Chains A and B, each alone.
Chain A
Amino acid sequence: MIMTIVNLIILLFVPFLMLGLIKKTKSFWAGRKGPSIFQPLYDFIRLIKKDFVISKTTSVVFNIAPVFAISTVLFAAMFVPLATGSAIISIPVGVIVFSYTLGLGKFMSIVAAMDTGSSFEGMGASREACFTSIVEPAFFILIASVMLLTGNYTFDSLSHIISNAGSYGILITIFAVVVLFIMILTEGSRVPVDDPATHLELTMIHEVMILDNSGSDLAIYSWANGIKMLLISSLIACMVIPHHLPVLMHVLCYLSVLGIVSIAIGTVESGMARIRMSHVFEFIFVMSSLALVVLSLVMARMFGG
C-alpha cells in the first residue's frame, strides 16, 4: 500500500521536476541562471486554475481529448515498473496494452487537432502521426527481443537482461538505453525532433497540436506529456538498476536515473540544432536499426556458439 502511494506521488509530481531540471540544464549551458526547478509545477498550478477558451469550429472531440490524454498515460503507467521496481499490473500482454493505450491518447490528440480545422494543427498532426508510426515498430522489436531473451513476457523482463545474458547483457542494455532515449526525445517532443521552446507555428510538431488549448486543458496536455517522458525513462531505470535492491535504495536509484535522463536531454538540446523536418525520419530510424542490433545480439546469445 505504501509502495503504491510512493509510486503514485512520484508518477504525478516528478514529471514537473524532470521538465524543470531539463530547463535548468539548458540554462546552465547557455550561461544563465534559469527558472526554478519547480517552475513547471507552478505553471501547472497557475494554468489548472484557469478557465479555457474553446474555438467555435470545434466539436465534442476537441473537448474530450485532454481527458483521453491524461487518462491513457495514467492507465499505461499501471503496466510500467516505477520507483519501487514493480508494476501495479504485471501481465504478459502488458507491453501491448501499454503501447496501444498511449497510441489511443495520441490518436485522440491528433483527431482533436484536426477538429480545430486549422492548417497549422493539421500539419502538426500529420507530422506527429508520421513520426509515431516509425517509433512503434522499433519499440516492439526492442521489447520483444528482450522478452525472447529472458523468457519473461512482462516489463519485468527488462530488469533481467544482465542476469540472463552476462556480457552480452551489458551490450544489449547500452543499445536499448539509446533506443529508449531517442524515443523520449521523439515522444516527449524535444530537440532535435521538435523544439518545445519555439514560437514559430510552422516548425512545431507537438506544440502546434495544442495551439487551440488553453487554461486547464493546456495544463493537462503538458502534464500528460511529462508523465509519458517519465514512463519511458522508467523503462531505462528498469534496465540499469539491479533488481532485488532494498526498496529505499531502489527508489533513490530510480530518482537518480530520472535525473540523469533529464540532464542528458537538456545537454543534447543545448549542444545541437534541431534536425531539418525532412531528415527527422532518418534520426528516428536510428531507433529501428539499433533495435535490430539488439535483436541480433539476442539471437547470437541464444543460438550462437
Chain B
Amino acid sequence: MAKWIKVKNNTKINLSDIPGMRIDELREQIIELGKRPIGFFGKDWGFGYVRLFVVLADDANCDLYISSAIFAPNDKSYESITQYVPSFHIFEREFYEQFGIEPLHHPWLKPVRQNQDKYPFFEMEGEEVHQVAVGPIHAGVIEPGHFRFMCNGETVYHLEIMLGYQHRGVEDMMMKNPSNQLAESINGDSAIAYSIAYSQAIETLKGFEISNKAQLIRKAALEMERMAIQIGDMGAIAGDIAYLMGAAVFGATRTLVINTMLEFSGSRFGRGLVTVGGVNYDFKEETIQKALETFDKVGKDVDRMAKTMLKNSTVMSRLEKTGTVSMEKARDIGLVGMAAKASGVELDTRFDFPDKWMSELGITRKPFKGSGDVNSRFKLRYKEVKESLSMIKKIFNKLKDYKDEPIIVDGVNNNYASDAMVVSLSEGWRGEIVHIVMTDINRKISRYKIKDPSFNNWYGLALAVRNNGVSDFPLCNKSFNLSYSGNDL
C-alpha cells in the first residue's frame, strides 16, 4: 500500500483511500518527504482510538500529500516530529492539547489555547533582567492576548506569547451547524477568504460546481478584501511610528475600498456575499464602472503616499532592520503567507494551487525580494495592493463574458458525500486559510479542521522582536498584524 495519497486542492478524497500506519513509520515518512505541513490533527476514531491525519503541501507541484496514523487507547505518547522538522512544533502542541497524546522530546511543549493560569513561561535571570507583562487587555481596541517580554534594559531577549482567550470552540460549531455566517465570523478581517474556503469545501463534498460568474465575483471580492486590509495596515504602521500623514491618507483610502465593497454586497467587509452555491449579490455593470473609478483614485493615492513615505528618512530609520526574521528561520519554523513572503519564502496558494482563472487572466507571480524586516513587510503590502488592483481590473473585464450566467446554482440541498474528506485552501490577505472537512458514513460532517495563517506566524513575531528595543514591539506587531481569533478558534 502506498504511504501517501496525493491529491489536489478542493478534491473529494475517500477516507478509505487514506493510508494508515504506525506513528513511527509516519514520522519517518514525513522526514523523508520533507514537505510543508498544513494539517496535522486528530480525530476520535471510536473505542478510545485516535487517528492522526497529516496533510503536507508540495507547493512546487500543486499537490497535497495525505496520510494518517492510528493511536490505540493505551498509546499516550510518541517521539515528536518537531525534533526533526521544527515547523511541526505548533501542530504537535495543538494535537497534544486536543487529544492528550504527548509528543516526547518536544522542545517547546506549551499550551496553545488552554491553561492560561499556569503557563510555563521561559525565565531569564540576571541583575538587569526584567519582565514586562502586557495584556491580555490592551490599550487599543484589539483582541486579547498576553505578551511577556524578557528584557535586559530596553532590549528584548525573548518574547512569549500566550493566546487562547478567544477560544470559542469554532471547529465544533462548524461541525454541528456549518454556515457561511459562522465561517465569516471566525476571523472578521478575512471574512471573504474564510467564507470562500468553507463554501469550496462544502461544494466539493456535495459534488457540484458553481458558475464561472460566481467564481470571478468571489475572486474579485477576495482581492478587494486583501487590498482594503493591506492599505489599512500600511496606515497603521505609519500611525505606530507617529507619521501622521501616512496614517491619515492610508486610513482614508482604505475607507474608499471598503465602501465600494458596501455598494457591491451591502456590507463593508463583504459579509453575506459568498454563499454555498455561488454568491448572493451580482456585481452590476454601473457599480463596476463606479468601482473602477474609485480604484483608480485609490491606486494613485496609495502610490503617492507610499512613495513619499518611503522617501522620508525618519520613516526609513524606523522601518529598516526592525523586527527581522531571516529566510532560514522563516522556513524552519514554517511561516506562511505574508510573513513568509516578506522573508523571501514565496508561499501563496493563489499561485501554488492555482485555479483555472490564473492562466486565463494571465496573472503570474512576481517574486518579492525581502529581507524580513518591517520595511519588507510594508513594501510587500504596497506591492500586493498594486497587484490586487490590476487583478481586479482583469476580473471585472472578464466578468462581461459571463453576463448571463446565474450567480447561484442549485445544489445546496444535495447530500454530502459519505465517508469523504476535502482539503480547501484559500489565500486570505494574511496567507493560506485551510479548511479540512470530513464526513462519516451517515453523510454528516464528522470533523471540521481550520488552520489560520496566524497559527503558524505568531511564533515568527516572537522571533522577530528578539534583540530589538521593547519600544519597537508595537511596530513589529503591527507589521505582522496577526489574528487572535483565527489562532484561538
Which residues of A come within 8 Å of B, CB atoms? 26, 29-32, 119-120, 122-123, 191-192, 195, 197-203, 269-279
Which residues of B in the span 110-156 have a Cβ within 8 Å of any Cβ on A?
A: 130-134, 139-140, 154
**Which A residues lie within 8 Å of B469 (CB)?**
276-278
B471 interface hit (Cβ, 8 Å): yes
Specify which of B248, B249, B314, B474 is in contact with A275 (CB 8 Å cutoff): B314
B399 within 8 A of A: no
Are A199 and B139 interface neighbours, CB within 8 A?
yes
Tell me the smallest distance from the CB of B67 to a CB of chain A, in Å.
44
Q: B471 contacts which chain A residues (CB < 8 A)? A: 202-203, 276-277
Closest A residue to B469 by beta carbon equals: A277
Question: With A119-B130, A276-B318 given, is the CB distance from A30 to B244 under 8 Å?
Answer: yes
Residues on A with beta carbons closer than 8 Å to the beta carbon of B131:
119
Knowing A201-B139, A202-B470 touch, does A272 contact B243 (C-beta < 8 A)? yes
Interface size on B, residues (CB 8 A): 31
Q: How far is the CB of B156 from chain A (nearest CB, A)?
A: 10
Which of B139, B238, B471 lies at the interface centre, i.e. has the most chain A CB atoms within 10 A of its CB? B471
Q: A269-B244, A272-B312, A273-B242 are in contact. Are A200 and B472 (CB under 8 A)?
A: no
Using A192-B314, A270-B245 as known contacts, list a sample of 8 further A-B pairs with CB atoms less than 8 Å apart, ordered by residue number in A. A30-B248, A31-B252, A192-B242, A195-B242, A199-B140, A272-B315, A275-B317, A276-B471
* B252 closest partner in A (C-beta): A31
- In the complex, what residues of A have CB within 8 A of residue B472's CB? 203, 276-277
Contact A200 B248, beta carbon cutoff 8 Å: no
Contacts of B318 in A (CB 8 A): 273-276
Q: Which residues on A sit within 8 Å (CB–CB) of B132?
A: 119-120, 123, 202
Q: Are A200 and B317 in contact (CB under 8 A)?
A: no
Contacts of A123 in B (CB 8 A): 132, 154, 470
Please indicate the chain B residues that have their CB under 8 angstroms from the CB of A274 in the complex: 241-243, 314, 318
B97 near A: Cβ within 8 Å? no
Contact A202 B248 (CB under 8 A): no
**B485 → A minimal CB distance (Å):** 21
Could you tell me the distance between the alpha carbons of A201 and B472 in the complex, rounded to whole angstroms?
11
| Residues on the B chain within 8 Å of A192, using CB | 242, 314
Question: Which A residues are CB-close (under 8 A) to B134?
Answer: 201-202
Residue contact A198 to B473, C-beta cutoff 8 Å:
no
Contacts of A29 in B (CB 8 A): 244-245
Q: Which of B154, B242, B312 contacts A191 (CB 8 A)?
A: B242
Q: Is the Cβ of A276 less than 8 Å from the Cβ of B248? A: no
Q: List 16 A-B contacts (CB under 8 A).
A: A26-B244, A31-B252, A119-B132, A123-B132, A191-B242, A192-B242, A200-B240, A200-B474, A203-B240, A203-B472, A269-B244, A273-B312, A276-B317, A277-B471, A277-B472, A279-B317
Question: Closest chain A residue to B474 by CB distance?
Answer: A200
Q: Are A198 and B248 in contact (CB under 8 A)?
A: no
B238 to chain A: which residues have CB within 8 Å? 273
In the complex, the chain B residue whose C-beta lies closest to that of A204 is B471
Q: Which residues does chain A contribute within 8 Å of B473, judged by CB atoms? A: 202
Chain B residue at minimum C-beta to C-beta distance from A274 = B242
A119 to B470, CA, bound (A): 12
Interface pair A31/B248, CB less than 8 Å apart: yes
CA distance A294 to B317 in the complex (A): 29
Give the distance to chain A from B264, nearest Cβ to Cβ, in Å. 27
Q: List the A side residues contacting B249 at CB < 8 Å.
A: 31
User: Which residues of B sit under 8 angstroms from A119, Cβ to Cβ?
Assistant: 130-133
A273 touches B241 (CB 8 A): yes
Smallest beta-carbon distance B1→chain A, Å? 55
* Docked complex Cα distance between A279 and B471 (Å): 12
Per CB-CB distance, the 10 closest pairs between chain A and chain B, nearest first, are A30-B248, A274-B242, A273-B243, A195-B242, A200-B474, A273-B241, A277-B471, A199-B139, A273-B314, A272-B314
- Chain B at the A interface: mostly helix, strand, loop or mixed? helix
Query: Which residues from chain B contact A272 at a C-beta distance below 8 Å?
Result: 243, 312, 314-315
Contact code string B235-257 (vs A, CB < 8 Å = 1, else 0)? 00010111111011100100000
Closest to B313 in A: A272
Spell out B's residues near A (CB within 8 Å). 130-134, 139-140, 154, 238, 240-245, 247-249, 252, 312, 314-315, 317-318, 322, 469-474
Bound Cα distance from A270 to B242, whole angstroms: 8
**Which residue among A197, A203, A273, A274 has the maximum number of chain B CB atoms within 10 Å of its CB?**
A273
Measured in the bound complex, the distance between the Cα atoms of B316 and A161 in whole Å is 39
List chain B residues, Cβ under 8 A from A32: 248
Which residues of B lie under 8 Å from residue A30 when comparing CB positions?
244-245, 247-248
Q: How far is the CA of A155 from the CA of B434 in the complex (A)?
A: 70
Q: Could you tell me the distance in whole angstroms from the C-beta of A60 to the nearest C-beta in chain B?
A: 25
B321 closest partner in A (C-beta): A276
In the docked arrangement, what's the CA distance between A278 and B472, Å?
A: 10
Collect the chain B residues with CB atoms within 8 Å of residue A271's CB: 245
Q: Which of the listed residues B131, B245, B322, B473 has the most CB atoms from chain A within 10 Å of its own CB? A: B245
A197 and B242 form a contact (CB under 8 A)? yes
Distance in Å: Cβ of B355 to nearest Cβ of chain A: 40
- Out of B140, B244, B245, B314, name the residue touching A200 (CB < 8 Å): B140
Interface centre among A30, A120, A279 (most CB of B within 10 A): A30
Bound complex: CA A192 to CA B154 (Å): 18
Residues of B within 8 A of A202 (CB): 132, 134, 470-471, 473-474
Who on chain A is nearest to B156 by CB?
A202
Cβ contacts under 8 Å, B314 to chain A: 192, 272-275
B474 and A203 contact, CB distance less than 8 A: yes
Least distance between B324 CB and chain A CB atoms (Å): 14
CB distance from B294 to the nearest CB of A (A): 18
Residues of B near A120 (CB, < 8 A) are 132
A29 to B315: give the CA distance in the assembly, Å.
Answer: 17
* Least Cβ–Cβ distance between B409 and chain A, in angstroms: 46
Whole-angstrom CA separation of A31 from B238 in the bound complex: 16
CB of A102, distance to nearest CB on chain B (Å): 25
* Interchain CA distance A137-B451 in the complex, whole Å: 57
User: What chain B residues lie within 8 Å of A31 (beta carbons)?
Assistant: 248-249, 252
Q: Which residue of B lies closest to A119 (CB)?
A: B132
- What residues of chain B lie closer than 8 Å to A198, measured between beta carbons? 240, 242
- Taken together as a complex, chains A and B put the C-alpha atoms of A197 and B318 apart, in Å, by 18
Q: A180–B338 Cα gap in the complex (Å)?
A: 45
Q: Tell me the complex Cα distance, A170–B139, Å.
A: 47
Q: Are B474 and A278 in contact (CB under 8 A)?
A: no
Contacts of A195 in B (CB 8 A): 242
Write out the residue numbers on chain B whose beta carbons fall within 8 Å of the beta carbon of A278: 154, 469
Closest chain B residue to A269, Cβ basis: B244
Min C-beta distance of B313 to chain A, whole Å: 9
Complex Cα–Cα for A29 and B246 (A): 11
Which chain B residues border A199 with CB–CB below 8 Å? 139-140
Is there an interface contact between A200 and B241, defined as CB atoms closer than 8 Å? Answer: no
**CA A119 to CA B132, docked complex, whole Å:** 6
- The smallest C-beta distance from B159 to any residue of chain A, in angstroms, reads 11
Chain A hits for B240, CB < 8 A: 198, 200, 203
Which of B252, B312, B469, B473 is the most central at the interface, judged by chain A CB atoms within 10 Å of its CB? B469
Residues of B within 8 A of A277 (CB): 154, 469, 471-472
Residues of B within 8 A of A270 (CB): 244-245
Q: How far is the CB of B378 from chain A (nearest CB, A)?
A: 12
Find chain B residues with CB under 8 A from A273 CB. 238, 241-243, 312, 314-315, 317-318
